[in-house]
Structure 1
Amino acid sequence: MMNLAVYLDSTYLKTPEQSGLSQQQTIDKVVALCHEAQANGIFAVMIRPEFVSLAKDELRRDSSNVKVGTVIGFHEGTYTTDLKMEEATKALDAGADELDFVLNYTAFIEGNTELVKKEFLEGTGLTFEKGKVVKWIIETAALTNEQISEISTLLYQWAKENFPLEYHKSIFVKTSTGFYPAGEGKPNGATIEHVDIIKKHCGTLSVKAAGGVRNAQEAKEMIAHGVGRIGTSSAVAILQDGKGSEAY
């Protein structure tokens, strides 16, 4: 029987303004997420950078093996490379185990691949200096299939040229932030079609699906198509084989 828990990043990324909760209520949600992950054997929690220390402390008290991941340049991805590196350094210093960078997909769409390459190399290098895992969110809902193919190929080429093969499994191409306004009823999260394109072109890199995976069947289908990790706000519902209500 498949252990779905080891594929899951249990996610809470809303600000108090986005959720309508107070700062303390948001803190309480993060704490609850950590305990929930520990109780259910979930691989990681994914929270905003300002809560990394809090999450690490909570999990340390439980002598937990649950990893703490956070997002960098979230959610638009248009932060400068310097700002992303500053945010990433602070997160690593706070104890983050995994960094999910939002790739500057706007720059990529505009043809500025040199900027995208620079942030990829600097962000990946910084993360690997600390022996951690890095994921690059390409925001598939903002891209055409051809662009998804192109950026997946480029990330693989840059990794192959600059980082040893044994590190590649710790570089993920990730589908989505879950916050992109796709519109017209289109999915703003992971789809099998997009996962297949990424998997076909990302070579020896890993793949993470995020957004829209809310039950066990959807999770198993993603895994069958080569996904190594799944970001979801419905982690417990997936494990209980119920359908979650949140969009991410």
Structure 2
Amino acid sequence: MNVNQYLDSTYLKTPEQAGISEKETEQKVVDLVNEAIENNFKLVMIRPNFVSMAKKMITDANADVVVGTVIGFHEGTASVEDKLKEAQEAIDNGVDELDYVVNYTAFKNEQINLVKAEVFKGTKIGLENGKIVKWIIEIAALSNEEIVALTQLIRDVVLDNFSEEEATQVFVKSSTGFFKREDGGPVGATFEGMELIVENAKPLQAKAAGGVRSYEDAVKMIEMGVTRIGTSSAKKIADGKTATGGY
């Protein structure tokens, strides 16, 4: 199986998080974009401040790679207004896909109307501008029951407010890769977690983010019904190798 068109090649660390300079961070993004162009990956997933640069590189190369960015990253607790402002700026800079971190903390605190409003408004601005929209639910912070309930909430808000055709442009996504579990357990996509998302999101799509580090795991995810895989090891996965770390 050629998995390249399922891969969202990702670099989201700030200079502070990586312990490198801003110039070195920019070079990592440049290298990521060039690698995606060379290997015909589906997408590059980068921070909002690099969207314009990445878009220009891809346009200049006459490549088919699309550009995605994260909104409300990584805690998801920013206000709806702040998320919408961040999304609009990314749209203005030419982004193709918006990956919002849903306010899963509010969901866990039973602030359901807040979460519903966020999903509706964030999806609306994306779809109205012809963008793919993904909602990151952070499965490592949720129980299996909460994964199901939050996935169904997102699905129902989308289906209640948009057409079924539009709904196919919306994803439920597993993880940011930045959440830390106290028990040291997995913080990215798991097969169990993705199975719950796939089954409860339909007709929305499912993205497995983080934790997929081998070609075999990627194929298994795709065969389960996952249609995108976010990874910092896209080249190794595409080459049939196994990454030992990273997102």
Q: TM-score range by the shorter chain?
A: over 0.9
Q: Counterparts of 2:25 and 2:184 in 1: how far apart (Å)?
A: 29
Structure 1 segments (4+ residues) deviating >2 Å:
none
In the other structure, the counterpart of 1:64 is 63
In the other structure, the counterpart of 1:5 is 4
Q: Residue 156 of structure 1 contacts residue 203 of structure 1 at CA under 8 Å; is this kept in 2?
A: yes
In the other structure, the counterpart of 2:163 is 164
Q: Counterparts of 2:183 and 2:246 in 1: how far apart (Å)?
A: 16
Call closer, same or farther: CA 1:21–1:245 in 2, change over 3 Å.
farther
Gaps of 5+ in 1: none
Shift of 1:198: 1.1
Shift of 1:247: 2.8
In the other structure, the counterpart of 1:96 is 95
Percent of pairs with identical residues: 50
Answering whether residue 195 of structure 2 is matched by residue 196 of structure 1, we say yes
Q: Residue 97 of structure 1 contacts residue 132 of structure 1 at CA under 8 Å; is this kept in 2?
A: yes
Counterpart code for 1:52: V
Shift of 1:244: 1.8
Q: Counterparts of 1:233 and 1:86 in 2: how far apart (Å)?
A: 27
Q: Residue 153 of structure 1 contacts residue 203 of structure 1 at CA under 8 Å; is this kept in 2?
A: no
Residue aligned with 2:95, SS: coil
Counterpart code for 2:156: Q
Shift of 1:166: 0.5
Aligned length: 247
The alignment's C-alpha RMSD in Å is: 0.8
Residue aligned with 2:168, SS: helix
Q: Counterparts of 1:31 and 1:15 in 2: how far apart (Å)?
A: 14
Gaps of 5+ in 2: none
Q: Counterparts of 1:133 and 1:122 in 2: how far apart (Å)?
A: 14
In the other structure, the counterpart of 2:122 is 123
Summarize deviations over 1:25-62 as a string: whole Å, max 9, x none: 11111111111000001000000001000101111111
In the other structure, the counterpart of 1:55 is 54
Higher mean C-alpha displacement, 177-186 vs 30-39: 177-186
Residue aligned with 1:91, SS: helix
Counterpart code for 2:104: Y
Tell me the TM-score normalised to structure 2 length.
0.98
Q: Counterparts of 2:225 and 2:71 in 1: how far apart (Å)?
A: 25
Residue aligned with 2:51, SS: helix
Alignment of 1:1-248 (within 5 A): 2-248=1-247
Residue aligned with 1:117, SS: helix
Q: Counterparts of 1:203 and 1:43 in 2: how far apart (Å)?
A: 21
Shift of 1:185: 2.9
Residue aligned with 2:177, SS: coil
